[in-house]
Amino acid sequence: MFYLSEIEHTLRLPPHLLDLPLHDAIKGELEGLFLDKVIANLGLCISVYDIRFIDGGFVFPGDGASTYTVKFRLIMFRPFVGEVIVAKLKESDSNGLRLSLGFFDDIYVPVHLMPNPSHSEPDPENKEQIRWIWEFGQENYPIDGIDEIRFRVQSINYPSIPVEQEKEKNQDEREKEKQAKPDEREKDKQKQEMATSLSAPRLSTTFSSSPTLQTLRRTLPISLSHPFLSPHSPSSPLFLSPRRLRPSFSHHHHRRFSARAESDNGAEPRHYDFDLFTVGAGSGGVRASRFAANFGASVAVCELPFATISSETSGGVGGTCVLRGCVPKKLLVFASKYSHEFEESHGFGWKYETEPKHDWSTLMANKNAELQRLIGIYKNILKNAGVTLIEGRGKIVDPHTVDVDGKLYSARHILVAVGGRPSIPEIPGSEYAIDSDAALDLPSRPEKIAIVGGGYIALEFAGIFNGLRSDVHVFIRQKKVLRGFDEEVRDFVAEQMSLRGIEFHTEESPQAIIKSADGSLSLKTNRGTVEEIGNLIKLKVIKLGEVIQFLNRAYMISVLKMCMLNQFSMIDTWTPIPLQNLGLEKVGVKMAKNGAIEVDEFSRTSVPSIWAVGDVTDRVNLTPVALMEGGALAKTLFRNEPTKPDHRAIPSAVFSQPPIGQVGLTEEQAVNEYGDVDIFTANLRPLKATLSGLPDRIFMKLIVCAKTNKVLGLHMCGEDSPEIVQGFAVAVKAGLTKAELDATVGIHPTSAEEFVTMRTPTRKIRNGPPPEGTMDSVVKAAAGV
């Protein structure tokens, strides 16, 4: 919602301000220019945060004014699409409600957007006032001044600028413009747009009959839906944006002549707009596009508009990892670890007079600000490499043509890098569940959460919400978590997470999510039956393992004075993005049964000019792997250096609490492939736990080939495991042997030194030589993540 925007601006300082301190005078002028103004592509300026640089001081002849170049930062308000915003009721009448964001002017909620059913009536305490009543279940709930009301942002637009303020150009001026250089005209246009956007006037206090919410006195640059998140609310924009103020994604590019014929049958060379057109600006797509441009290729990449929650119409530059995966998830992991550290600190003499409290809204605001910063970095990476960025939905219409929202672009090669996204199984009531996207952007911390799934995403979120002191229940279809990981690691991490208060329900599958007449929801599993639910407000405990009770997101407790806990059900599954709308099958691209794109060892699809990297191929669904595949593709196509992505010995991590790091084979995979292996394990209490008194432990494991002494697998679960394993992964990739570990001097006292001090095998497995022709299972080990 809020973020800092750094701007450099040339400022004219009138002579009457020269008596003031320079910093104060410049700040006053900046506030006059920017404060309360909607700046195109940035948002609403709330305040001047600081002035970072002042240069100049040149005095103009005549009136004595001076000019300065100033670099400064503004506090901007710009909601993100999909963001939930909380407002307070300010006043009401028979026509609707007026809500306030505090710093921002009021929002008007007309009658037809009130929760249904509801009605207005005279306020019993003040007959001259009108209050609204929400008829929920069998009860009537008055909407009064202490209530918080939530609404979700549907789109972002910019307010209209009065065109009558623009001066008409005469014929001579227009002719001069035509003769100007294109780059000079573009600069003048940008300056004019900036100046015009800063002069946006406040709107008069009016109401509109538009079916969307309206603001008073000032245009709110977002579109809002039903304040109670009704799924049937209208989502049309609040205000139409003038064409010249909308973000422009038209780019000047030259048609490229490709002398490399697209077939080997003597066909005439074709002209193309680009050498490479990438659909999807996630990790793999950006890496491939940037490398290709650096190798001299003409490159374009298209991506959907940004939103914190991905959908058929929203995405964002940076992709899943940056926007709704690795990065925001790791930030929440950091936030959740403090509660455990507070507990640890008592044994080291730290005392707290008051219990530390966590503010969820601060975490979400700072997280969203960091995402915006990263989006800017990714866009600059593409811009600096000379890549053309096009915002919109890409659809492949033939082997060399991409349609982006009705405009056609031709390319010698097309790369599909649209990634994957979470999916929710189709069970009755699944519309009431949330996925990992939504879990990263909840309006408030859940007091209780039921997580369906035992994969790494589920465990990471279980640790996050447990660390933030939510009541966490994890439902697993199998007997154990983390299918595909080493068996001992699976057992150890489940045990350690249970000791921290997370409850696991094994061999339970969700059958239905059932909504009661009073709006409450129940999760039914294959082991339980739905029991009759009494008074929702008084309900405290339901028999765990059979039914988990939680409330519908659309009727959050904080909306209307209900004092029940916030509860959610999160379902953890991950699939490639549905590709039906990309047009792949129509042009002949072969698809796997799970919806992924089939590619060869160089990432080429069944159509020679179309390629694919990243999660959409469902090979190894990790960000570093997508980066590797994208870089390899660029070398293959534009550096005359055919490069196969190397999927062997890929290290991976699970940022659960405690976290897991691993590289190479599991014990089961090593036995199947190599037959005779030696297993070294250590289960130790870390030094920190000796004073903290907490039951924290660390598990470490080495898997060694008995015949070659080569380290086949290295696994660790405990504090800092991912950081430690990353270093060992280099050695494992290079062919590390157990003898080399034994010859290494450890760093004391550390946990990592245990890997170089394990001398005696825990057990030796002798199964004879492996079957002939067995492929290296390191690929399978990584693919199991």
pLDDT in tens, 658-708: 999 999 999 999 999 999 999 999 999 999 999 999 999 999 999 999 999
Asked if the model's pLDDT at residue 130 lies above 60, the reply is yes
Domain 274-421+575-639: give its CATH code. Answer: 3.50.50.60
Per-residue model confidence (pLDDT) at position 105: 56
pLDDT band at 310 (very low <50, low <70, confident <90, very high): confident
Contacts 24+ apart (CB under 8 A), 752-761: 752/724, 752/727, 754/682, 754/684, 754/698, 754/700, 755/700, 755/702, 755/714, 755/728, 758/680, 758/681, 758/682, 758/700, 758/702, 760/680, 761/678, 761/679, 761/680, 761/704
CA count, 13 A, side-chain hemisphere, 352: 12
Per-residue model confidence (pLDDT) at position 199: 32
Per-residue model confidence (pLDDT) at position 221: 34
**Among 34-38, 56-60, 339-343, 566-570, whose mean pLDDT is lowest?**
566-570
N- to C-terminal Cα distance for the chain? 34
- Residue of 232, 254, 271, 748 with catalytic role: 748
pLDDT band at 116 (very low <50, low <70, confident <90, very high): low
What is the DSSP code (8-state) at residue 634?
Answer: H
Residue 9 is a catalytic residue: no
Two structure tokens written together for 711: 């380290």
Whether residue 119 contacts residue 140, with contact meaning beta carbons closer than 8 Å, is answered with no
Whether residue 423 contacts residue 595, with contact meaning beta carbons closer than 8 Å, is answered with no
Rounded to whole angstroms, the Cα distance separating 87 from 726 reads: 45
Rounded to whole angstroms, the Cα distance separating 248 from 661 reads: 44
Two structure tokens written together for 341: 């550290």
Whether residue 540 contacts residue 393, with contact meaning beta carbons closer than 8 Å, is answered with no
What is the DSSP code (8-state) at residue 566?
Answer: P
CATH architecture of 439-535+559-563: 3-Layer(bba) Sandwich (3.50)
Whether residue 658 contacts residue 717, with contact meaning beta carbons closer than 8 Å, is answered with yes
Whether residue 553 contacts residue 524, with contact meaning beta carbons closer than 8 Å, is answered with no
Asked if the model's pLDDT at residue 46 lies above 90, the reply is no
Per-residue model confidence (pLDDT) at position 447: 82
CATH architecture of 2-77: 2-Layer Sandwich (3.30)
Rounded to whole angstroms, the Cα distance separating 718 from 730 reads: 20
Asked if the model's pLDDT at residue 531 lies above 60, the reply is no
Whether residue 420 contacts residue 574, with contact meaning beta carbons closer than 8 Å, is answered with yes
Asked if the model's pLDDT at residue 497 lies above 90, the reply is yes
Whether residue 576 contacts residue 589, with contact meaning beta carbons closer than 8 Å, is answered with no
Tokens 């001579």 sit on residue:
172
Helix (H) or strand (E) segment spanning residue 300: strand 299-303
Q: Residues 131-176: pLDDT tens digits?
A: 888 776 567 777 766 556 766 665 555 444 333 333 334 445 545 5
Calculate the average pLDDT of the chain. 76
pLDDT band at 41 (very low <50, low <70, confident <90, very high): low
Q: Cis bond leading into 117, ω under 30°? A: yes
Global confidence as pTM: 0.62
Amino acid at 103: F
Rounded to whole angstroms, the Cα distance separating 230 from 234 reads: 9
Domain 651-765: give its CATH code. Answer: 3.30.390.30
Two structure tokens written together for 268: 């005439």
Distances (CA, A) of 109 to 77, 84, 153, 238, 426: 21, 16, 14, 13, 34
Q: Are strands 2-13 and 66-77 parallel, antiparallel or unpaired?
A: antiparallel
Q: Cis bond leading into 658, ω under 30°? A: yes
